Amino acid sequence: MPEHRIDTESAHSARIYDYILGGDDNYPADREAGDAMCREWPALPVHMRANRDFMHRAVRYLAAEAGIRQFLDIGTGIPTPPNLHEIAQAAAPDARVVYVDNDPLVLSLSQGLLSGTPEGRTVYVEADLRDPADILGAPGSGRPSTCRSRSR
């Protein structure tokens, strides 16, 4: 991944989200933008955490209680622990998870972080939400086995 594709001088939505959630993958421009957003919408961090908490509860239920074994996370953003595959595979080690995003920053940060259990699989696909056929046809999206990406 060429580093020149990642602009650390300008605020980036995924890094702002990471910052507001308390993550480490952000830069001064992201923190400044996040602080400005929170001044205008003081409850934003609470709403963002509630969104993550809901995702955790829903995935845990689907994997543990409903028997779901395949998850597709479109627009995954920067990995923020616990990630979807960690929640799903804690409840069902054989769960398969495909993360999809079209952001080179997300791809760069995801490559080493999104590894699943030996029984399940975790895959990252670089694709665009506006092209579902591309997502569903991407290597690994049907039966994930390794972390792969598609360049756009």
- The CATH number assigned to the domain holding 14 equals 3.40.50.150
Is 20 domain-assigned? Answer: yes
How many separate domains does the chain show? Answer: 1
Is 145 domain-assigned? Answer: no
Residue 80 CB-half CA count within 13 A: 23
Higher pLDDT, 65 or 5: 65
Share of the chain above pLDDT 90, in %: 54
Is 41 domain-assigned? Answer: yes
DSSP 6-26: --SSS--HHHHHHHHTT-S--
Instruction: Please determine, for residue 106, whether its predicted confidence score (pLDDT) is greater than 50.
Output: yes
Calpha distance 148→36 (Å, rounded): 36
Please give the pLDDT value at position 84. Answer: 93
pLDDT in tens, 9-63: 999 998 999 999 998 889 999 999 999 999 999 999 999 999 999 999 999 999 9
Instruction: Please determine, for residue 146, whether its predicted confidence score (pLDDT) is greater than 70.
Output: no
* 113 confidence band (pLDDT: 50, 70, 90): low
Instruction: Please determine, for residue 126, whether its predicted confidence score (pLDDT) is greater than 60.
Output: yes
Is 25 domain-assigned? Answer: yes
